[in-house]
Structure 1
Amino acid sequence: MTATAITVLIVIAALPGAAMALHRRLGNREWIDPASSVVSLLLASVAALCAWSGTAPTTHAVSVIGSLAATTAAVTAGGAIVRSVLIAGGVTRAPARTAPPAGGPDEPESGPLRGGRVIGYLERLAVVGTLLLGWPEGLAIILAVKSLARFPELRAPHASEQFIMGTFASVLWACGMAGVGHLLAV
């Protein structure tokens, strides 16, 4: 069952690449991210059940491979989960800008927060890392640093809701994948 859980985690990690290929082939379809999220959540449930029911003693190599697979799944598949939560919450992608806003280049944008994808990757990597290393207190530091870094942007309309929904979805997904990684390591 441990091998099945690791295989499922690898499939979850590869799912965003398949979703991106669908985006390119079919065009920008709004249903791809939510469908990818549902599949990721179902597969994560299967991985958790397989990891939990594993009765064979785990070797160090299996623990490392399981932790790496869980970390990769958390980082890569979390983006679609977060986008789906934001879409469900009414946040849409900002239209492409061709010219600076009328008030000048320093005027804050009213669309989605910028840099969220890369910040999300780093956030999920840090969350999984701190949990798998047995230091859950690190979550408070990660969230505090992110909040302080984003504080000036959170005054924009709907920015605080987007920040809370995106962070909550990202951290919960990363915690779930860290849990699967922990089950594979014990």
Structure 2
Amino acid sequence: MTVAILLGALALSALLGWLAVELVFRLAHVRHPDGQPPRRGGYEATMLPEPGPIEVLRGGTWIGVLERVAITGAILAGASGLVAAVVAIKGLGRWSELQSNPALNERFIIGTLASYLVAGVCGFVGVWAMGLV
């Protein structure tokens, strides 16, 4: 039963996190300076005006799935200190891209926080469920 709880928490973290991040991206869009409604879907950063299309960070979806699984797994294993390593790796890995395109900063922060929140909740729910078994 413990293995099923572990696998379920990890799978739930990956799937729910993806859905939550997409929802938060849709809710967090701001209006363009010209008053036009924001683009939908979370596929382009629209927070700051730019003179052309903004390239979205590549690999973000897969990185998000992997980081949620890592965070949830660390919590389930009782190694919550590893969460700091995931946060550091993500920040350092994207540092140069965020510096060269500041319009992506808000999108990066919103997506990361939503993702980490879901991963943490799934991890702690898994720990709680294992305590019931």
Q: Output the TM-score relative to the length of structure 1.
A: 0.56
The residue number in structure 1 matching 2:119 is: 174
User: For residue 12 of structure 2, what is the aligned residue in structure 1?
Assistant: 73
- What count of residue pairs does the alignment treat as equivalent? 111
* Alpha-carbon contact 1:70-1:178 (below 8 Å) kept: yes
Q: Distance in 1 between matches of 2:109 and 2:72?
A: 19
Question: Which protein is bigger by CA-based radius of gyration?
Answer: 1
Matched, 1:134 2:78: yes
* Letter of the structure 1 residue corresponding to residue 106 of structure 2: E
Structure 1 contact 74–128 (Cα < 8 Å) conserved = yes
Distance in 2 of aligned mates of 1:184 and 1:63: 9
Tell me how far 1:179 sits from its aligned partner.
1.1
Distance 2:75 2:12 in 1: 15
Normalised by the length of structure 2, the TM-score is 0.78
Q: Which amino acid aligns with 2:20?
A: I
Structure 1: unaligned runs, 5 residues or longer: 1-61, 95-108
The structural deviation recorded for 1:183 is 0.9
TM-superposed CA distance for 1:169, in Å, is: 0.3
Percent of residue pairs identical: 34
How does 1:1-186 map onto structure 2 within 5 Å?
Answer: 62-90=1-29, 92-94=42-44, 110-155=54-99, 156-186=101-131
**Higher relative contact order (CA closer than 8 Å, sequence separation 6+):** 2
What's the CA shift for 1:70?
1.0
RMSD over aligned Cα, in angstroms?
Answer: 1.5
Question: 4+ runs of 1 displaced by more than 4 Å?
Answer: none
